[in-house]
Amino acid sequence: MTKNEIFPKMSEAIVAGDRDAARSLAEDAVRSGLDLLEVIEQGYLPGIQKVGDLWERGEYFLPELISSAEAMKAAMAVLDPELNRKGVGTRMSGKVVIGTIEGDIHDIGKNLVASMLQAGGFEVFDLGADVKLDRFIDKAEEVGAGMICLSALLTTTMMNQRRFITLLRDRGLRDKYKVLVGGAPASRKWAEEIGADGYAENAVAAVKLARSLAGRP
Amino acid sequence: MTPSLLDLVKTRTVLFDGALGTELMARGLGPGVPPELWNIERPDAVKEVHAAYFKAGSDVVSTNSFGGTSLKLAAHGLEGRAFELNRAAARLAREAAPAGRYVAGSMGPTGKFLKPQGPATEPELVAAYAEQARGLAEGGVDLFIIETQYDLREALAGLKGAQSVSSLPVFVTLTFSAFPRGHFTIMGDPAARSAAALESAGAAAVGANCNLTSEQMVGCVGAIRAAVSLPVIAQANAGQPVVLADGTIGYSQTLEDYVRFVPEIVSAGAGFVGGCCGTNPATIRAMARAIRGEEKA
């Protein structure tokens, strides 16, 4: 198959949440010797973009979003090892450390953002829920991440997002990382007020934001 | 003799309470502490909040057990204490209730997704809700309220769990978002069809809570009202949380703006009304004036 034939099929597989199709198209791409970065950027990611649009319009809901993210993971499970083998590097967009902040056990939204970031081309290190502030930084330092994402569902634990920025500053690392905040009580205004680098309202918006902060289209 | 809540709602609009967690926080509940633990450790604080809502005019208060399924308590290592914490929650609300008022046993989501989106199975959820309902019934609730549900399948599992251990009425609220096409849960369950499914499964009242503002709630209640013959319950948020100029947290709807739409929620068909996030005893006091004033007129 030529690129013009296969790329739309890849996008469709993601929109349909069809893991098997997403995987076998990735295998075809490897066998045909296509440029795999192009395959991701022009084949699969437009599918994620479409899913995002459908989500924002209220046509797609969480089950569809999760299926699409799973289909994307299935494709990446084929493409990642190939890219590694060729020394191109796993993820084009960079590494992200994510977790629900200290004192907060709510992780549904965070899990979704983690899945979508992964689907959107990031290598994601998910620390889970109730994550101590220092652990975010230690992990980011350890893996060489460029971005740290902090989730909080409660108005009380949201305050820890502010404390995190202060901690990052105290450790002399503020400029080293992009910090994104999310969760029901967070807002763009809140992100600005505490000096975070960005806020996204939902998982789809989070991918757009992270990609733009990482300098990706 | 006190009439049953379902008889009472045939004669007038019945008022639930408002937010509980934020009232406990105002009394010192710290982040990371499950509110249910206060049923044992700070019973006076919990009772004080219930009493404040009754004083403000609530006919019904909901117990401090929203996160009280063993599946939710497990995040705090408290899964073994589900029965005890729920029974204590019910007793406290019962003790705070003046004669002729009611206690609803609150049951919130487990936080676990059902397969295929998550690891949970229907029997696990049924069992968790059944255990919680046993504790609440033992502590003396008049009804159960399975609330803030975002997956119709979990709501139905909760209903089944409660029905398996008790014959008390079960109210169910789902949490919807408003889209141009209508009102849907995050799982995509439409308001009307969800309400109809819950009615068929034997719920005593169905409705919506959380997320929607009181203004948005009007349309949602209308959609549910048209789909069922049961009483409808509505507990809107006072909008969304916002950071105020002084750095504290508030909600986007002012008290006046919130209460302004309460008569419309009632006209749209809600027999039971109450508040959710961002509401407090002052909100309930104003709601009581709004709905009782209207009935006299």
Predicted ipTM of the assembly: 0.86
* Beta carbons of B199 and B206 less than 8 angstroms apart: yes
Q: Which residue among A62, A103, A156 sits closest to B186, beta carbon to beta carbon?
A: A62
- Calculate how close chain A gets to B150, using CA atoms only, in Å: 10
Q: Which carries the bigger pLDDT value, residue B3 or residue B230?
A: B230
Q: Which residue among A129, A130, A156 sits closest to B25, beta carbon to beta carbon?
A: A156
* Residue of B27, B186, B189, B193 best to disrupt the A interface, most CBs of A under 10 A: B186
Annotated domain spans of chain B: 5-296
b/e string for B116-135 if b means 16 or more Cβ within 10 A? ebeebeeebbbbbbbbbbbb
Residues in CB range of A2: below 8 A, 6 or more apart = none
Q: Which helix (H) or strand (E) holds A64?
A: helix A62-85
Side-chain-side CA neighbours of residue B64 (13 Å): 35
Q: How confident is the model over B243-272, as pLDDT tens digits?
A: 777 777 789 999 999 999 999 999 999 999
* Residue of A67, A73, A156 best to disrupt the B interface, most CBs of B under 10 A: A156
Distance between CA atoms of residues B132 and A174, nearest Å: 45
* Beta carbons of B229 and B205 less than 8 angstroms apart: no
Chain B segment 238-297 residues within 8 A of A by beta carbon are: 240-243, 249
Beta strands B241-243 and B102-107 are unpaired
Local confidence pLDDT in tens for the 217 residues of chain A: 788 899 999 999 999 999 999 999 999 999 999 999 899 889 998 998 899 889 888 999 999 999 999 999 899 999 988 988 887 765 567 999 999 999 888 888 898 899 889 888 899 999 999 999 999 999 999 999 999 999 998 888 899 999 999 999 999 999 999 999 999 889 998 999 999 999 998 888 898 899 899 887 6
Question: What's the confidence (pLDDT) of residue B296?
Answer: 47
* Beta carbons of A97 and A150 less than 8 angstroms apart: no
* Residue of B187, B243, B246 best to disrupt the A interface, most CBs of A under 10 A: B243
- A158, two tokens: 């949201």
From chain A, pick out residues whose CB is under 8 angstroms from the CB of B242: 187, 189
Q: Which carries the bigger pLDDT value, residue B294 or residue A98?
A: A98
CA distances from A23 to A10, A30, A81, A193, B84 (A): 9, 11, 13, 43, 49
Q: What is the pTM of this model?
A: 0.90
Question: What's the confidence (pLDDT) of residue B118?
Answer: 87
CA distances from A162 to A60, A190, A201, B108 (A): 33, 9, 18, 29
From chain A, pick out residues whose CB is under 8 angstroms from the CB of B180: 57-58
Residues in CB range of B71: below 8 A, 6 or more apart = B79, B110, B111, B112, B120, B124, B125, B128
Q: How confident is the model over A68-119, as pLDDT tens digits?
A: 999 998 999 999 889 888 877 655 679 999 999 998 888 888 988 998 898 8
* Beta carbons of A26 and A75 less than 8 angstroms apart: yes
Q: Which helix (H) or strand (E) holds B106?
A: strand B102-107
Q: Which carries the bigger pLDDT value, residue B293 or residue A176?
A: A176
| Percent of chain B clearing pLDDT 90 (strictly above) | 90
Amino acid sitting at position A121: G
Amino acid sitting at position A6: I
Tell me the Ramachandran region of residue B188: left when phi exceeds 0, alpha when psi lies from -120 to 50, beta otherwise. Answer: left
Side-chain-side CA neighbours of residue A146 (13 Å): 13
Q: Which helix (H) or strand (E) holds A135?
A: helix A133-143
> Is A62's CB within 8 Å of B187's CB?
yes
Annotated domain spans of chain A: 3-85, 95-213
From chain B, pick out residues whose CB is under 8 angstroms from the CB of A58: 177, 179-181, 184
Find out whether the peptide bond into B116 is cis, omega within 30 degrees of 0. yes
CATH second-level architecture of A95-213? 3-Layer(aba) Sandwich (3.40)
Q: Which carries the bigger pLDDT value, residue B293 or residue B203?
A: B203
Cα dihedral across residues B126, B131, B132, B133: positive or negative? positive
> Is B75's CB within 8 Å of A129's CB?
yes
> Is B111's CB within 8 Å of A155's CB?
no
From chain A, pick out residues whose CB is under 8 angstroms from the CB of B113: 108
Residue range B5-296, CATH number: 3.20.20.330
From chain A, pick out residues whose CB is under 8 angstroms from the CB of B240: 184-185
Rounded to the nearest integer, the mean pLDDT of chain B is 95
Decide if pLDDT at B102 tops 60.
yes
Decide if pLDDT at B297 tops 50.
no
> Is B111's CB within 8 Å of A106's CB?
yes
From chain A, pick out residues whose CB is under 8 angstroms from the CB of B179: 57-58
Q: Locate all alpha helices (DSSP H) within chain B, ordered by sequence.
A: 5-11, 21-26, 38-41, 43-56, 70-73, 82-96, 122-138, 152-165, 191-200, 214-225, 255-260, 262-267, 281-296
CATH of A3-85 among 1.10.1240.10, 3.40.50.720, 3.40.630.40, 3.40.50.300: 1.10.1240.10
Cβ count within 10 A of residue B28:
10
* Residue of B148, B176, B249, B279 best to disrupt the A interface, most CBs of A under 10 A: B249
Interchain CB contacts (distance < 8 Å): A and B = 64
- A82, two tokens: 């190939």
DSSP3 helix / strand / coil % (chain B, rounded to 5): 45, 20, 35
Decide if pLDDT at B14 tops 70.
yes
